């Protein structure tokens, strides 16, 4: 397994008050994202465990865009990846940010 870890400053703090949220399933082409409200509101960490080696550059780009555009501040995010495409990763991260903010129906 390849393990990647990113720590970024987050311009937008996570919404709501829920302590944690989880989205997704570890299946082929999918991933699970566990979000925990555990950090200072201007910080975000993302840790990834993936069996697909050599995609660090893409993970970095996807994570950077997510933290810059979505309400990710204060979240410790852990990902188990089943070989998902970058667009699926971006979608799950956004779903997670929405879920922990309590916005999802």
| Positions that interact with another protein (CB under 8 A) | 1, 20, 22, 25-27, 29-30, 32, 34, 36, 49-52, 55, 57-58, 61-62, 78, 80-83, 85-88, 90-91, 94-95, 98
The HSE-up count of residue 75 (CA atoms within 13 Å, CB side) is 35
Q: Which is nearer to another protein, 11 or 83 (CB)?
A: 83
Q: How far is the CB of 29 from another protein (least distance, A)?
A: 8
């Amino acid at each position: 397994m390849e393990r990647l870890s990113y720590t970024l400053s987050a311009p937008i703090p996570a919404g709501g008050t829920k302590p944690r949220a989880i989205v997704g399933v570890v299946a082929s082409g999918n991933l699970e994202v566990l979000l925990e409200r555990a950090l200072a509101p201007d910080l975000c960490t993302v840790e990834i465990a993936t069996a697909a080696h050599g995609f660090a550059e893409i993970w970095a780009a996807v994570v950077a865009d997510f933290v810059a555009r979505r309400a990710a501040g204060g979240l410790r995010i852990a990902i188990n990846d089943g070989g998902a495409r970058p667009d699926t990763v971006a979608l799950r991260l956004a779903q997670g940010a929405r879920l922990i903010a309590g916005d999802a129906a």
